[in-house]
Amino acid sequence: MNKKKIIGMSIISILAIVFLIIGYNIQKSNKSTENSDLSIVNANKYNKDDIDNSSDYKDNESNSEDKKEINAQIYGEVKKPGVYSLDNGERIKDLIDKAGGFTANADCFSINGAKKLNDGDDIQVKSKNQENTQVNDNNSGGNISSSDSENDKIDINSATEDDIVNKKIPGIGKGLADKIIKFRESNGGKINSEEDMEKAIGPTRGKKIMDYIETN
């Protein structure tokens, strides 16, 4: 009898140990699952925050672009030709206003004042005479008009500011004519070469104007 009791108690003890081990493993598995779910929730939260922050950054970047200044150049028949800074989104009319408005000889309909400006735009306001010259050239069978001939060049060393303006040289208005006169006075009263002219009004215009002037 004692031997049977010992065997019975041993079996009960073994079963108790097995149940304890199974219960422990189930509890451990449940905790692992909860931690995994929590990690997924946190990861989703961080991803959402990252997306929101990225969206805010793009919005800020867009607003910065909206406030960006642009530079545009205007020449020809305006009172103060030159390069001006404007707010992004402004129009050619705003650039004309900054340049002092049209001259009396401007062809006001040669450009679209309502057009939006882009950074680096180069705007020319044509004169009324330019249009007439083109018509005369067409009627003469495409012959070059007398104003473009070699004999019709202006002597830049004796010309007054009004002479230069009245010559209607493309891209040269009153403002640049004044620069030419002032440079000539500071250069001993004479412009000697294309290099001098480039110093006076810049390399691009300095080269172009040489087709219309004499420096002798």
- The residue extents of the domains of the chain are 1-67, 68-128, 153-216
* CATH code of the region 68-128: 3.10.20
Report the alpha-carbon distance of residue 72 to residue 27 in Å, rounded: 74
The answer to whether domain 153-216 has CATH 1.10.150 is yes
User: Residue 52 — very low, low, confident or very high, per pLDDT cuts 50/70/90?
Assistant: low
Q: What's the pLDDT band for 104 if we cut at 50, 70, 90?
A: confident
Which residues pair with residue 124 across a beta bridge?
75
Instruction: For 171, list phi and psi in degrees, rounded to 5.
Output: 85, -5
Give the separation between CA 81 and CA 102, rounded to whole angstroms.
10
pLDDT-derived band at 132 (thresholds 50, 70, 90) equals very low
Which pLDDT band holds residue 170 (cuts at 50, 70, 90)?
A: confident
Do residues 132 and 168 touch, judged by C-beta distance below 8 A?
no
Structure tokens at 6: 């010992």
3-state percent helix, strand, coil for the chain, nearest multiple of 5: 55, 15, 30
